[in-house]
Amino acid sequence: MASYFTRRILLMVPTFLGSTILVFTILQMAPGGPIEQVLLQMQMGGAMGSEGSGGSNSGTGEIATLPPEALKELERFYGFDKPIYQRYFIWLGIWPREIKHRNFTIKKNENSVSKRVGKVDGELWEVDIVLNDKNKLSVYEKNGERSLWQASMDLENDSQDIKGTVFQKEFSGLLTGNLGKSYTYLQPVTEVMAPRFKVSLFFGLTGIIISYLVCIPLGIRKALQHGSFFDFGTSVTIFIAYSIPGWALGGVLLVIFGGGSFWDVFPLGGFRSPSEIWETLSPIQKIFDQIHHMILPIIAWSIGSFATMTVLMKNSLLENLSQDYVRTAFAKGLTEKRVIWLHAMRNSLIPIASGIGHILGIVIAGSYFIERMFNIDGFGKLAYEAVLARDYPITLGFLVIVVGIRLIGNIISDLALATVDPRIRFK
């Protein structure tokens, strides 16, 4: 078994790389990226300004543009100044990232310039940028030693002045735990995602636990009472609920129980009460407040899996009850309870166990529609808004989390399958 799971873990590496390379390439090459959005905002702002001022630009079709230096700085900020393969390696953390950029200019007929790059212990930090005979740039500290700073030549202007950039390099990417900085929030991606991931994880795991606690016993009872009024009535109820999307059911629940047209029983949304109220509550009151806010979202969150899991459990148990080994067990004189729970039940759980990893990956990723309906700042809502805003660091961070959970979920499914089915041996 150890060798099998070792291979599965090793297989996660190319699977992860393939998924991230594909999505990364699509994001980087798709039109409407962050630079295009900045230019569009400038155009919209210019158009509104012209219209408001009555200027002549409103009908000329002129487009707001940036000077080459500003456009280059914008490309550098968003990381588009490098080839796409370098961008991927930088994001992965196996290619050094250029940081702390400082622009400099070496005047015509000169071969060096001093540049202030920061402060050390309250004192100014200056370096000397030297152009050698081979037209290469070198950076030295004031004491003459080679500096950690590096320099690159950007262009020569009409006056033949040499312009360039001095910078430092560091390895900072996925392998170092750095997913970059969000374009929208201007904060590290991990800091933006962490609180929202906790919210979706809380709702997702709670929904999974409730689904298994309700659907497995319900499916068992429906199988044992197949064809009864209870079986027919619950089937009608389950499939009616299944036919309604979770977000639509959430809207109905809010109208009925959220102070809409009927009863004001539950809050309209939110993960919990506002912080100014939450901080004044006792521990017991916080528990009840959390439960009060989560009832309606949990119902909408997990309703879709109720029908699938219940019917799957029922059909699996019915199939096993009709097998020869069950009839043989009855023929040996075993009680109905012993046959069902010790023989048929274990085999009936095999389809349920094999789907644990898949359900885990889907549910924990969150649901944008339900989170939007109940005004919950969850993981799914964050990812959807990041895609619309072309916030590539958050989008890729979401991809890393979801792909990682799905891959780990597959291993969990294998372990669960081996637990309930003694015939399976991993080699």
Are 234 and 347 within one domain? yes
Judge whether 58 lies within some domain.
no
Whether residue 192 contacts residue 181, with contact meaning beta carbons closer than 8 Å, is answered with: no
Whether residue 404 contacts residue 227, with contact meaning beta carbons closer than 8 Å, is answered with: no
Judge whether 9 lies within some domain.
no
Are 82 and 111 within one domain? no
- At residue 54, does pLDDT exceed 60? no
Give the domain-ending residue among 113, 141, 170. 170
Judge whether 90 lies within some domain.
yes
Helices (H), 244-374: 246-257, 275-278, 283-321, 324-331, 336-339, 345-348, 350-354, 356-364, 368-373
User: Can you say whether the dihedral through the CA atoms of 305, 307, 311, 314 is positive or negative?
Assistant: positive
- CA 110 to chain CA centroid, Å, is 51
Token pair for residue 284? 């017991």
| For residues 125-131, average pLDDT | 85
pLDDT of residue 58: 40
Contacts of 344 (CB under 8 A, 6+ apart): 317, 320, 321, 323, 326
Give the sheet arrangement for strand 162-170, strand by strand: 97-106, 162-170, 150-156
Judge whether 207 lies within some domain.
yes
CATH of the domain at 363: 1.10.3720.10
- At residue 83, does pLDDT exceed 80? yes
Q: If phi over 0 gives left and psi between -120 and 50 gives alpha, with beta otherwise, what is residue 30?
A: beta
Whether residue 207 contacts residue 302, with contact meaning beta carbons closer than 8 Å, is answered with: yes
Whether residue 353 contacts residue 417, with contact meaning beta carbons closer than 8 Å, is answered with: yes
Are 47 and 194 within one domain? no
Judge whether 179 lies within some domain.
no
Are 279 and 141 within one domain? no
Q: What is the CA radius of gyration of the chain?
A: 30
Whether residue 410 contacts residue 357, with contact meaning beta carbons closer than 8 Å, is answered with: yes
Are 75 and 137 within one domain? no
Give 253-300 pLDDT, tens digit per residue: 888 887 666 777 788 777 788 878 888 888 898 888 888 888 888 888
Give the domain-ending residue among 170, 205, 234. 170
- Residue percentage of the chain with pLDDT more than 90: 1
Judging by DSSP bridges, how do beta strands 112-120 and 97-106 pair with one another?
unpaired
Judge whether 247 lies within some domain.
yes
Q: What is the number of domains present in the chain?
A: 3
Token pair for residue 427? 């080699």
Give 359-418 pLDDT, tens digit per residue: 766 666 657 778 888 888 888 888 888 888 888 889 888 888 888 888 887 787 777 777
Are 226 and 127 within one domain? no
| Cα–Cα distance list, 147 to 107, 142, 154 (Å) | 22, 9, 20
pLDDT of residue 61: 42
In sequence order, the β-bridge partners of residue 140 are 128, 146
- The length of the chain in residues reads 427
pLDDT of residue 366: 59
The mean pLDDT of the chain is 80
Judge whether 36 lies within some domain.
yes
Are 211 and 270 within one domain? yes
- Does the pTM surpass 0.85? The reply is no
Are 405 and 341 within one domain? yes
- Distance CA(338)–CA(344), nearest Å, equals 9
Token pair for residue 235? 């089937």
Residue 25 vs residue 1, higher pLDDT: 25
Judging by DSSP bridges, how do beta strands 150-156 and 137-141 pair with one another?
unpaired
Question: What is the residue whose two structure tokens read 């929208």?
Answer: 184
Question: What is the residue whose two structure tokens read 């992860």?
Answer: 16
Q: Specify burial of residue 47 (Cβ count, 10 A radius: 0-12, 13-18, 19+).
A: middle
Give the sheet arrangement for strand 137-141, strand by strand: 112-120, 123-131, 137-141
Give 190-212 pLDDT, tens digit per residue: 899 888 888 888 888 888 888 88
Are 251 and 354 within one domain? yes
The values of phi and psi at residue 261, to 5°, are -100, -5
Are 208 and 262 within one domain? yes
Q: Give the range of the structural domain holding residue 295, as residue numbers without chain letter.
A: 189-420
Judge whether 6 lies within some domain.
no
Give the domain-ending residue among 170, 202, 230. 170
Are 80 and 33 within one domain? yes
pLDDT of residue 175: 87
pLDDT interval class at 159 (50, 70, 90): low
pLDDT of residue 71: 78
Q: Of the candidates 246, 304, 296, which has an alpha carbon nearest to the alpha carbon of residue 271?
A: 296
- Distance CA(53)–CA(45), nearest Å, equals 12
Are 117 and 231 within one domain? no
